[in-house]
A and B are shown apart, each in its own frame.
Chain A
Amino acid sequence: DAKTTQPTSMDCAEGRAANLPCNHSTISGNEYVYWYRQIHSQGPQYIIHGLKNNETNEMASLIITEDRKSSTLILPHATLRDTAVYYCIVRVETSGSRLTFGEGTQLTVNP
């Protein structure tokens, strides 16, 4: 699996957009970018994933650069409940296979 690099921590004001970056310069052509988050004391939660096109769902948007070496997860209007550790994972889309979590980014949304 390609290695990912994320900032250790970020802060965001409530109601503003939170933009979480992820570098994955060694990504292969068949590897997807996945984002999960873990709110304190809960299990990780799937957010979104994509291959090369930008993706949007009810939780977030995923912007992947044209060369696919980096991506940004966007929470358009962050709330206090979005305070969590956000994990960027690169993996081939072969379900039923191991998903390895790194250290992630601790996002703190401030009132």
Chain B
Amino acid sequence: DAGVIQSPRHEVTEMGQEVTLRCKPISGHNSLFWYRQTMMRGLELLIYFNNNVPIDDSGMPEDRFSAKMPNASFSTLKIQPSEPRDSAVYFCASSLQTGANVLTFGAGSRLTVL
């Protein structure tokens, strides 16, 4: 398996623009997680899905952030409008819903908002 695939790997955009980050989980995994990592706040869980259904979005910072999982093989995290403080590395992870909390992370998407 190719692992969790995220795109783009790097994105530089200007304040106010819409940003869409994409994630393809490991085939057969039915839980998907979006994390954000900054120097100041470390790794923060933004939202997670079980069987394509959002379970906990309490970590989503504000209404500018939204996440969707239209099917088992694809998820998006959208920021509209983007702000400089959204600059961070965004990680997607997936896991099997049965068994232990073993998450497989993608390589991350590094977002820079100017």
Binding site for B on A (CB under 8 A): 32, 34, 36, 38, 41-46, 49, 89, 91, 93-103
Contacts and interface: CB of A to CB of B under 8 A. Distances in A.
B48 A98 contact: yes
B91 A43 contact: yes
Interface string B96-111: 1111111111111000
B55 interface: yes
B45 A32 contact: no
The interface centre, meaning the residue of B43, B96, B107 with most chain A CB atoms within 10 A of its CB, is B43
B103 A99 contact: yes
How many B residues are at the interface, by size bracket? Answer: 20 to 34
Q: Is the interface of A mostly helix, strand, loop or mixed?
A: loop
Contact of A103 (B42, B50, B106): B42
* 6 closest cross-chain pairs (CB), A and B: A43-B105, A101-B43, A96-B31, A96-B97, A96-B50, A46-B102
18 contacts: A32-B100, A34-B100, A34-B101, A42-B108, A43-B91, A43-B93, A43-B105, A43-B106, A43-B108, A44-B43, A44-B93, A45-B105, A94-B101, A95-B96, A95-B102, A96-B95, A98-B45, A101-B43
Contacts of B48: 96-98
Nearest to A93: B100
Given A49-B101, A96-B31, A96-B55, A42 B107 contact: yes
Nearest to B31: A96
Nearest to A43: B105
Given A42-B108, A43-B91, A43-B108, 13 more contacts: A32-B101, A41-B108, A42-B107, A44-B103, A91-B101, A95-B96, A95-B99, A96-B48, A98-B48, A98-B56, A99-B33, A99-B101, A101-B35
